[in-house]
Amino acid sequence: MSQSVLSLKNVNIYQEGKIILSDVNLEVNHGEFIYIIGKTGSGKSSLLKTLYADLPLLEGEGKIVEFDLATLKEDDIPFLRRKFGIVFQDFKLLPDRSVKDNMLFVLKATGWTDTKEMDAKINEVLDKVNMKDFASKMPHQLSGGEQQRIAIARALLNDPEFILADEPTGNLDPQTSIEVLEVLRKINANGKTVIMATHDYALLMKFPSKTLKCEDATIFEVVQRTV
């Protein structure tokens, strides 16, 4: 039997006092790859923000990787977020430091202290995204696709159970988008659960997987050919 890593029951999601998604019921099992689609403003990002506690869960029940979102305390949020790797559309790399120093910043911020262990971990995650030779490069020396690969590597640093990707191909050309998605699929094949918000329907057709759609303040599963 598959292990549930996310369960939302009768959840209403608000942003700035306005209801964005109502009556969300969602079960995600360990190792699934799930797309969330929908127009801009339909609630995709708000749902992801609720999962990593950027938006509080005010109504309904929510459990994610053994944390209760409804009763989550401020002090617990860093521990919850260590269970996640989060990948954004705009990469969010620190522009004034090298790829390696971007990685070290995250490791030190999450409690790593041993230099050898940190170096080994950085090499390991860069290898997973085929970017091992780029550790000394600055972000501006990299293409958009290379920056996103680095962002995915950074998301893997603390061996998360879950990857949340919010429009990770939104700033990339079609071929680079495919390459980035192939990296995420490989990570998923190695046992990580991946939830990816996207409006790139070409990717869905090329790499079909379970798809949820945000529309009219609701979220529901769609059959691939009708997206």
Tens digits of residue pLDDT in 51-75: 999 999 999 999 998 899 999 999 9
Which single residue is written with the structure tokens 């390991």? 124
Global pTM? 0.91
Average pLDDT over residues 194-213: 93
Q: How close are the terminal C-alpha atoms of the chain, in Å?
A: 29
The gap from C-alpha 169 to its chain's centroid, in whole angstroms, comes to: 12
Question: Which tokens sit at 79?
Answer: 């521990």
Mean pLDDT of 73-82: 89
What mean pLDDT is reported for the chain?
A: 92
The type of residue at 116 is: K
**Alpha-carbon torsion 93, 136, 193, 63, what sign?**
negative
How far apart (Å, rounded) are the C-alpha atoms in residues 12 and 75? 23
Q: Burial code of 65-97, b = ≥16 C-beta within 10 A, e = fewer?
A: bebebeebeeeeeeebbbbbbbbbbebebeeee
**What is the identity of the amino acid at 222?**
V
Per-residue pLDDT at 178: 94
Residue 2 scores a pLDDT above 80: no
pLDDT for residue 142 is more than 90? yes
Coil, helix or strand for 50?
Answer: helix
pLDDT score at 226: 47
Percentage of residues of the chain with pLDDT beyond 70: 97
pLDDT grade for 111, boundaries at 50, 70 and 90: confident
Give me the residue label for tokens 């979102």. 69
Average pLDDT over residues 114-135: 96
Count of helix runs (H) and strand runs (E) in the chain: 7, 10
**pLDDT at residue 29 above 60?**
yes
Q: Is residue 196 a contact partner of residue 169, using CB atoms and an 8 Å limit?
A: no
Determine contact, residues 13/55, Cβ cutoff 8 Å: yes
Burial 27-38 (b: 16+ CB within 10 A, else e): ebeebbbbbbbb
| Interaxial angle between packed helices 115-128 and 144-155, expressed in degrees from 0 to 180 and rounded to the nearest 10 | 130
User: Nearest 5°: phi and psi at 47?
Assistant: -65, -50
Structural tokens at position 150: 């680095």
pLDDT of residue 110: 84
CATH class belonging to 1-82+195-227? alpha beta
Separation CA 227–CA 225 (nearest Å): 6
- The pLDDT, as a whole number, for residue 227 is 47
Rounded to an integer, the average pLDDT of 184-211 is 93
Residue 225 has pLDDT above 70, yes or no: no
* Mean of pLDDT values over 123-144: 95
Q: Over range 192-213, report the average pLDDT.
A: 93
